[in-house]
Amino acid sequence: MTLATATTRTGKRVPGPPGGGRPADRGAAWFLVLPALIPILVLSVGPLLYGIALAFTDSQAGRTAPTQWVGALNFQDLLHDTLFWDSFRIGLLWAVGVTVPQFLLALGLALLLNQNLRFRWLARALAIIPWAMPEVVVGIMWRLVYNPDAGILNETIRDLGLGDGRDWLTGLATALPAVIVVGIWAGMPQTTVALLAGLQNTSPELHEAAALDGAGAWGRFRAVTWPALRPVALAITALNFIWNFNSFALVYVLTNGGPGGRTRLPMLFAYEEAFRYGQFGYAAAMGCVMVAVISVILAFYLVGRLKGGDEQ
Amino acid sequence: MRPSRPARAGQYLALLAYLVFLAFPFLWLISTAFKPPRELASLHPTWIPKDPTLANFRQAFDEQPLLRAAVNSVIVAVCAALIAVVIATPMAYVMARHRSALSRAATGWVVVSQAFPFVLLIIPLFLILKNLHLINSLPGLTMVYVVWSLPFALWMLVGYVRAVPPELEEAAAVDGAGKLRTLVSVTAPLLTPGLVATALFAFITAWNEFFFALVLMKTPERQTLPVILTHFLGAEGVADLGPLAAAAFLATLPSLVIFALIQRRLTGGMLTGAVKS
């Protein structure tokens, strides 16, 4: 896909020594690819297939009896595991709860930063913080903010006379929303920067032409900005959803799945199943179900892209 | 089109709100890191420590093997970054310049690998590394990080290779230079800034990584910074706030500095990856 665009963009095939399919060149290509290909196959593709295979076994940590095939038994068990489906539901809730507001906020912000505003450099400079921070530190930092006694959030609430504040991360009702806010915070800059770069695809001439035709701000956005932004928006939203659905460290540090499992994302659940209870086969089956969901999302994304291609 | 005055005011207000949202947790982290215990225990916390102290930093180093963890993180991250760039560059070159089933498959893998739930990867990796006696070992973790940072490294590098005009390589070929020679003496020097940016990115990736390190590193003297940081949280989540903040702040500094250096390049790399694939 990438390669196709690369060659058609310039309208000619990449010429010279790199191009072509002479046997010597193909041999050289393999020689150049192998140093990366072998580790990828051994430590990534291989384990992934092994992981899928494990889902059909009774593999457990530290068991002396040999591992056996159990067919779809793990999946049958999963079907009846209400705790897993709870975590799955929470995972979807969290992924949507982070991705959607994050996209809308980032879109607004990107449009804002695309304007000629003073201090927008400051926004860009500060955006580095959430982006570069280790997730563990983001989690720790927000625990300090949410801290019931010594945290700044409750203190601000007290100062504003809005009450005594709460124990955000341990309250049954507040834990998930509190964690979602952190998720939004952590991913905002990346989304904003991606959308901002997408905005630079829109041509000012088109904007002016649309304005001359009497289009308002919303009309101009729909007719000019959005069509140009659409590919970036789709890509970043699909990736954000997948990353969020698979996320672990942030919530592990913030709540470790608590209170009462209210923030137990599927990854946390599978991690505990595998590395606390040693149920490798069962946890692998959970991973497979997660992959299935993600594949559906990816399919939607690809369909969306193809459609976008037709329109143009 | 010049926005009206109220619209402008609204825009600045929105910008201000964003800046506050972005900055306040980080400022709070810094503030907490420099507060003496008395102020931390105060029921009315203040933004700026009245009596700033470095005691939290000292205590953080006393409580947990922070220095050891930082050294581990540096070793793993530097090795992973160097190896990743060295092995990814030739592959990226092929992906950028050759149209073949192989490079298409590689591109496809790069996309798909972004979607792995790591739990499906970590269980078999754990079993494989255990058989190789590479659990709780820095080389084992390094290997995992190399492969983990490869997709993005490839993405970035393919973009950088494309930016080098093929005509330059043709010229070298006309002059009689072989393929490898061309690559080393013509393409590589032009790629250097891209290689540095990619290596720094791979470094940050490994420096920040938590999940693999949590599963694979068992003893405190082998654990990396992010894992050691979670030890400050204590068993019941009752944390010693000052040292916790101090350690977290320290662990962030290298990433922030490096990120500030490469941020522009990274944005470009991310977008070619995310959009053009």
The residue with greater pLDDT, A179 or A305, is A179
pLDDT tens-digit series, residues B28-42:
999 999 999 888 877
> Is residue B226 scored above 80 in pLDDT?
yes
> Is residue A222 scored above 60 in pLDDT?
yes
Q: Do B252 and A132 touch (CB under 8 A)?
A: yes
Closest chain A residue by Cα to residue B206:
A134
Which pLDDT belongs to residue B238? 62
Those residues with Cβ within 8 angstroms of residue A26's Cβ, 6 or more apart along the chain or in another chain: B100
Q: Do A120 and B115 touch (CB under 8 A)?
A: no
Which residues in chain B (51-80) have CB-CB distances under 8 A to chain A?
none
Which residues on chain B are in Cβ contact (under 8 Å) with A128?
A: 256, 259-260, 263
Which pLDDT belongs to residue A185? 96
pLDDT tens-digit series, residues B81-130:
999 999 999 889 888 887 777 777 877 887 778 777 888 899 999 999 99
Which pLDDT belongs to residue A54? 94
Percent pLDDT > 90 in chain B is 48
> Is residue A210 scored above 70 in pLDDT?
yes
Which pLDDT belongs to residue A22? 57
Q: Across A13-22, A71-80, A158-167, B158-167, which has the greatest mean pLDDT?
A: A71-80
Which pLDDT belongs to residue B184? 79
Which pLDDT belongs to residue B235? 64
The residue with greater pLDDT, A224 or A288, is A288
Which pLDDT belongs to residue A119? 82
pLDDT tens-digit series, residues B160-213:
888 888 888 888 878 877 777 877 788 888 888 899 999 999 999 999 999 999
Shortest CA gap A32–chain B (Å): 5
> Is residue A17 scored above 60 in pLDDT?
no
Which residues on chain A are in Cβ contact (under 8 Å) with B113?
A: 44
Shortest CA gap B141–chain A (Å): 11
Read off the pLDDT of each residue in A49-69 and give the average, rounded to a whole number. Answer: 89
Q: Do A287 and B107 touch (CB under 8 A)?
A: no
Burial A262-273 (b: 16+ CB within 10 A, else e): bbbbbbbbbbbb
Lowest mean per-residue pLDDT among A13-27, A177-191, A201-215, A255-269: A13-27
Q: How many residues are listed for chain B in this entry?
A: 277
pLDDT tens-digit series, residues A84-130:
999 999 999 999 999 999 999 999 999 988 888 888 888 888 888 99
The Cβ-side half-sphere exposure at B151, using a 13 Å CA radius, reads: 21
As a whole number, the mean pLDDT across chain B is 86
Which pLDDT belongs to residue A311? 46
Prediction ipTM score: 0.90
CA–CA distance, B7 with A69 (Å, rounded to integer): 66
Shortest CA gap A131–chain B (Å): 8
Which pLDDT belongs to residue A23? 60
Closest CA to B155 of B103, B204, B192: B103
Q: Do B22 and A123 touch (CB under 8 A)?
A: yes
Read off the pLDDT of each residue in A146-153 and give the average, rounded to a whole number. Answer: 87
Read off the pLDDT of each residue in A292-312 and give the average, rounded to a whole number. Answer: 73
Which pLDDT belongs to residue A1? 35
Which pLDDT belongs to residue A61? 87
Q: Do A131 and B207 touch (CB under 8 A)?
A: no
Closest chain B residue by Cα to residue A242:
B115
Read off the pLDDT of each residue in A290-303 and give the average, rounded to a whole number. Answer: 84
Which residues on chain A are in Cβ contact (under 8 Å) with B107?
A: 1-3
> Is residue B61 scored above 80 in pLDDT?
yes
Q: What confidence tier does A20 reach under pLDDT thresholds 50, 70, 90?
A: very low
DSSP string, A114-152: TS--TTHHHHHHHTHHHHHS-HHHHHHHHHHHH-TTT-H
Which pLDDT belongs to residue A80? 94
> Is residue B7 scored above 60 in pLDDT?
yes
> Is residue B236 scored above 70 in pLDDT?
no
> Is residue B58 scored above 50 in pLDDT?
yes
Q: Across A6-10, A26-30, B81-85, B120-124, which has the greatest mean pLDDT?
A: B81-85
Which pLDDT belongs to residue B2? 60
Which residues on chain B are in Cβ contact (under 8 Å) with A43?
A: 125, 128, 143-144, 146-147
Read off the pLDDT of each residue in B2-13 and give the average, rounded to a whole number. Answer: 82
Residue A32 has its nearest CB partner, among B90, B99, B118, at: B90
As a whole number, the mean pLDDT across chain A is 85
pLDDT tens-digit series, residues A232-278:
898 889 889 999 999 999 999 999 998 999 999 999 999 999 999 99
Phi-psi group of A163: left, alpha or beta (phi > 0 → left; psi -120 to 50 → alpha; rest → beta): left
Q: What confidence tier does B268 reach under pLDDT thresholds 50, 70, 90?
A: low
